[in-house]
């Protein structure tokens, strides 16, 4: 499938000279039949239950625009305008939950609608039909590939943006007291995120002149050797900058994994939960927290 | 040598101004060991803020300085390791154990004071 498609793509430039006249005729014909074919295509889309999230009117106006762009691309052989339009369209429909199979399905439907029309028109003249299809097929395939690829690329771009946003959001370094930071880690840790996290933490230590850092990993489900080593390195790097780190919230699975992996944890101070970690850090910084009601009792002692 | 060694009370402050050649590191080591005894210093702060790189030789020398000074009765604190330098050192396993480290000069002096503070004799 892939092979035959790329084959026809490569051939797209070859028969151009032979069939200039045919191409002109083809494009002229498609323009002439525009209202009818557009209608038929829209009907096929609704029949196939594609684009469920869009209304009939919306589908029809997009169909018109795509149809015109499609015929233009057939005529000029240049897909740039179509590509730009496809990107813009993808951007709009991805956010509404349109799936890849729908987009591909729609473009292939248009190809089928047009191809069938050509068969009907030239059925009495197989030679002419052959020549028209020689021009039509590679160009149509190229257009289909362009639209599909634009959609997927656009989708990947959005996914990348969202990943970056999640990464930014999920590693805040928070100051809870003077000289005391907490770093709640939520979600999976990969090497890249661990590195980024170390950098964020170290610059936060420098900015806020922190002496203690509580790193809470309650939200980390699993941990592997690389990540464990990153964690140890983060703690050591913090120490080199004069800050002590306490790790809290190791789940039993994580603790088990760390022991099984034989990670050297002699450097790391760990406390069961975030509350315990904060209390320990406060104690080391010389803070005592006393309930207001108990204060009179405490001072009497 | 591009290291200024200042005396501040009981403490010596060695402020490294630029990247050091190997022989300068050795000079610093000898100079500090000498002065600790001569000036009866109780603590040393080595400020490495200006260093963009701390390689294994410098790291080992810092360790040697600290251990030597300890034998002569002084604690050593390394201050001003930059975040990027810290990350690089950890990756190369230069963790400076068992040295004391602090964020900057001020913190370092504070830490030294607490390290060298002698508890008052109780009757």
Please report residues of B whose CB lies closer than 8 A to that of A238: 86
Please report residues of A whose CB lies closer than 8 A to that of B46: none
User: What is the predicted pLDDT for the residue at A9?
Assistant: 43
- Residue B68 sits at the vertex; the CA angle it makes with B97 and B78, to the nearest 5 degrees, is 45
Handedness of CA A27, A30, A34, A40 (dihedral sign): negative
Asked if the Cβ–Cβ distance from A237 to B87 is below 8 Å, we say yes
Binned at pLDDT 50, 70 and 90, residue A52 comes out as: confident
Q: For B3-108, which CATH class?
A: alpha beta
DSSP-derived 3-state class of residue A212: strand
Asked if the Cβ–Cβ distance from B95 to A198 is below 8 Å, we say no
Give every CB contact of residue B5 below 8 A, 6+ residues apart in sequence.
Answer: B12, B13, B14, B15, B31, B32, B35
Q: Looking at the complex, report in whole angstroms how far the Cα of residue B71 sits from the nearest Cα belonging to chain A.
A: 23
Q: Among partner residues B91, B101, B111, which is closest to A241 by beta-carbon distance? A: B101
CATH of A2-162, one of 1.10.490.70, 1.10.10.10, 1.20.140.10, 3.10.20.30: 1.10.490.70
How do residues B54-90 score in pLDDT, each as one tens digit? 888 999 899 988 988 888 888 999 999 999 999 999 8
Tokens at residue A122, please?
């030239």
Q: Is the peptide bond before A207 cis (omega within 30 degrees of 0)?
A: no
The pTM for the full model equals 0.61
Please report residues of A whose CB lies closer than 8 A to that of B91: 233
Asked if the Cβ–Cβ distance from B89 to A205 is below 8 Å, we say no
Asked if the Cβ–Cβ distance from A241 to B83 is below 8 Å, we say yes
What percent of chain A stands above pLDDT 70?
Answer: 89
- ipTM more than 0.95? no
How do residues B89-109 score in pLDDT, each as one tens digit? 988 888 777 789 999 999 999
First CA to last CA distance, chain A: 86
DSSP3 helix / strand / coil % (chain B, rounded to 5): 45, 20, 35
What are the CA-CA distances from residue B98 to residues A155, A176, A177, B101 (Å)?
A: 51, 29, 28, 9
Asked if the Cβ–Cβ distance from B83 to A202 is below 8 Å, we say yes
How do residues A230-247 score in pLDDT, each as one tens digit? 888 899 999 999 999 999
Binned at pLDDT 50, 70 and 90, residue A170 comes out as: low
Please report residues of A whose CB lies closer than 8 A to that of B78: 240
Q: For A174-288, which CATH class?
A: alpha beta
């Amino acid at each position: 499938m892939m092979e035959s498609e790329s084959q026809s793509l490569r051939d797209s430039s070859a028969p151009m000279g032979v069939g200039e006249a045919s191409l002109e005729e083809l494009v002229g014909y498609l323009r002439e039949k525009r209202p009818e074919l557009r209608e038929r295509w829209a009907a096929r889309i609704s029949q196939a239950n594609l684009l469920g999230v869009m209304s009939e009117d919306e589908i029809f106006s997009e169909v018109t625009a795509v149809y015109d762009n499609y015929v233009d691309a057939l005529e000029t052989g240049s897909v740039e305008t179509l590509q730009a339009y496809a990107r813009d369209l993808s951007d709009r429909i991805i956010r509404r939950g349109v799936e890849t199979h729908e987009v591909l399905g729609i473009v292939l439907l248009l190809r089928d609608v047009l191809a069938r029309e050509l068969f009907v028109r030239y059925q009495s003249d197989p030679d002419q039909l052959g020549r028209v299809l020689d021009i039509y097929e590679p160009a149509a395939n190229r257009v289909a590939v362009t639209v599909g690829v634009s959609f997927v690329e656009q989708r990947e771009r959005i996914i990348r943006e969202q990943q970056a946003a999640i990464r930014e959001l999920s590693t805040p370094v928070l100051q809870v007291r003077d000289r005391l930071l907490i770093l709640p880690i939520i979600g999976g840790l990969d090497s890249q995120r661990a590195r980024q996290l170390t950098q964020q933490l170290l610059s936060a230590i420098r900015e806020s002149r922190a002496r203690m850092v509580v790193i809470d990993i309650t939200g980390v489900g699993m941990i592997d050797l690389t990540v464990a080593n990153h964690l140890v390195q983060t703690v050591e790097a913090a120490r080199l900058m004069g800050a002590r780190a306490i790790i809290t919230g190791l789940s039993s699975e994580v603790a088990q994994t760390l022991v099984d992996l034989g990670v050297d944890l002699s450097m790391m101070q760990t406390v069961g939960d975030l509350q315990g970690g904060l209390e320990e850090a406060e104690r080391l910084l010389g803070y005592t927290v006393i309930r207001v009601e108990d204060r009179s009792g405490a001072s009497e002692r | 040598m591009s290291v200024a060694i200042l005396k501040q009370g009981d403490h010596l402050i060695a402020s490294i101004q630029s990247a050091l050649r190997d022989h300068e590191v050795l000079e610093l080591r000898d100079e500090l060991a000498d002065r600790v005894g001569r000036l009866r210093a109780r603590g040393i702060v080595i400020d490495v803020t200006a260093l963009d790189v701390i390689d294994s030789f410098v790291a080992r020398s810092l360790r040697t300085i600290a251990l030597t000074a300890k034998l002569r009765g002084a604690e050593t604190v390394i201050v001003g390791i930059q975040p990027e330098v810290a990350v690089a050192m950890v990756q190369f396993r230069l963790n400076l154990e068992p040295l004391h480290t602090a964020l900057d000069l001020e913190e370092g002096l504070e830490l030294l004071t607490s390290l060298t503070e002698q508890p008052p004799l109780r009757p």
